[in-house]
Structure 1
Amino acid sequence: MNQSSGRGPDRRNHTGRPAKPGDTRGSKPADRRDGKPADRRDGKPAESRGGKPADRRSGGKPSDRRGGKPGDTRKGKPGDRRGGKPAESRGGKPGDRRGGPTRSRDREERTTDQQTYDGPPIPDDIAATDLDRYARDQLSNLPAKLADRVARHLIMAGLLLDEDPETAYAHALAARARAPRNALIREACGETAYAAGHYAQALAELRAARRINGQHLYAPMMADCERALGRPTQALTYDTPTTRNHLDQTGNIELTIVIAGARRDLGQHQAALQLLQTEPLHTTTRAPWATRLKYTYADTLHTTGNTHEALQWFHRVIATDPHHTTDAPQRITQLEQELAAENDEK
Structure 2
Amino acid sequence: MGNQDYSKRSDRPRRSDRPAEHRGGRRHERGDHKDRSSRPKDKRHHAQRGGQDRDRKFSRPQRSGFREERINNRQNDPDLPGDIDVRDLDPMVLQDLKVLSKDNAHTVAQHLIMAATLMQDDPQLALRHARAAKDRAGRVAVVRETAGIAAYHAGEWKEAVSELRAARRMSAGPGLVAVMADAERGLGRPQKAIEIANEVNPDQLDSDTRVELAIVSAGARMDLGQKESALVTLQRVNPDRRASGLTAARLSYAYADVLLANGDATAAKEWFQVAVEQDIDEHTDARARVEELNADNEA
TM-score, scaled relative to structure 1: 0.71
The structure 1 residue matched to 2:4, chosen from 13, 35, 38, is: 13
Counterpart of 2:41 in structure 1 is: none
The structure 2 residue matched to 1:240, chosen from 198, 201, 207, is: 198
Give the direction of change, closer, same or farther, for the CA distance of 1:332–1:115 in structure 2 (3 Å limit). farther
2:217 & 2:144 partners in 1: Cα distance? 24
Deviation of 1:163 after TM superposition, in Å, equals: 1.3
Answering whether residue 166 of structure 2 is matched by residue 208 of structure 1, we say yes
Give the direction of change, closer, same or farther, for the CA distance of 1:41–1:18 in structure 2 (3 Å limit). farther
1:227 & 1:114 partners in 2: Cα distance? 32
1:200 & 1:17 partners in 2: Cα distance? 30
2:241 & 2:85 partners in 1: Cα distance? 40
Deviation of 1:270 after TM superposition, in Å, equals: 1.1
Deviation of 1:24 after TM superposition, in Å, equals: 3.0
> How many pairs are equivalent?
270
Counterpart of 2:264 in structure 1 is: 306
Deviations 1:205-244 (A, max 9, x none): 1011112111203111111111111111111112236432
Unaligned runs of 5+ in 2: 35-53, 56-67
Give the direction of change, closer, same or farther, for the CA distance of 1:23–1:110 in structure 2 (3 Å limit). closer
Which protein has the bigger helix share? 2
Give the direction of change, closer, same or farther, for the CA distance of 1:247–1:181 in structure 2 (3 Å limit). same
Deviation larger for 12-21 or 123-132: 12-21
Q: Read off the aligned partner of 2:32 and give its amino acid letter.
A: D
Answering whether residue 218 of structure 2 is matched by residue 260 of structure 1, we say yes
Q: Read off the aligned partner of 1:140 and give its amino acid letter.
A: K
Matches within 5 A, 1:220-235: 220-235=178-193
1:286 & 1:159 partners in 2: Cα distance? 27
Whether the 8 Å CA contact 1:15–1:159 is kept in 2: the answer is no
TM-score, scaled relative to structure 2: 0.82
1:246 & 1:200 partners in 2: Cα distance? 25
Deviation of 1:42 after TM superposition, in Å, equals: 2.7
The structure 2 residue matched to 1:172, chosen from 122, 130, 140, is: 130
Q: Which structure has more RCO (C-alpha within 8 Å, separation ≥ 6)?
A: 1
Counterpart of 1:114 in structure 2 is: 74
Whether the 8 Å CA contact 2:9–2:88 is kept in 1: the answer is no
| Paired-residue identity, % | 38
Q: CA RMSD in A?
A: 2.7
Q: Read off the aligned partner of 2:122 and give its amino acid letter.
A: D
Deviations 1:273-304 (A, max 9, x none): 12211223115343321111011011111111
Deviation larger for 197-206 or 34-43: 34-43
Whether the 8 Å CA contact 1:217–1:251 is kept in 2: the answer is no
2:72 & 2:296 partners in 1: Cα distance? 54
Counterpart of 1:185 in structure 2 is: 143
Deviation of 1:115 after TM superposition, in Å, equals: 4.1
Deviations 1:117-147 (A, max 9, x none): xx32222221111111111111121111111
Counterpart of 1:24 in structure 2 is: 15
Q: SS of the residue aligned with 1:239? A: helix
Answering whether residue 37 of structure 2 is matched by residue 33 of structure 1, we say no
1:32 & 1:18 partners in 2: Cα distance? 29
Whether the 8 Å CA contact 1:311–1:332 is kept in 2: the answer is yes
Deviation of 1:325 after TM superposition, in Å, equals: 0.7
The structure 1 residue matched to 2:117, chosen from 159, 177, 190, is: 159
1:40 & 1:166 partners in 2: Cα distance? 18
2:21 & 2:209 partners in 1: Cα distance? 14
Deviation of 1:178 after TM superposition, in Å, equals: 0.6
For the pair shown, the structure with the greater C-alpha radius of gyration is 1
Whether the 8 Å CA contact 2:259–2:265 is kept in 1: the answer is yes
Deviation of 1:337 after TM superposition, in Å, equals: 1.5
Give the direction of change, closer, same or farther, for the CA distance of 1:43–1:14 in structure 2 (3 Å limit). same
1:229 & 1:126 partners in 2: Cα distance? 35
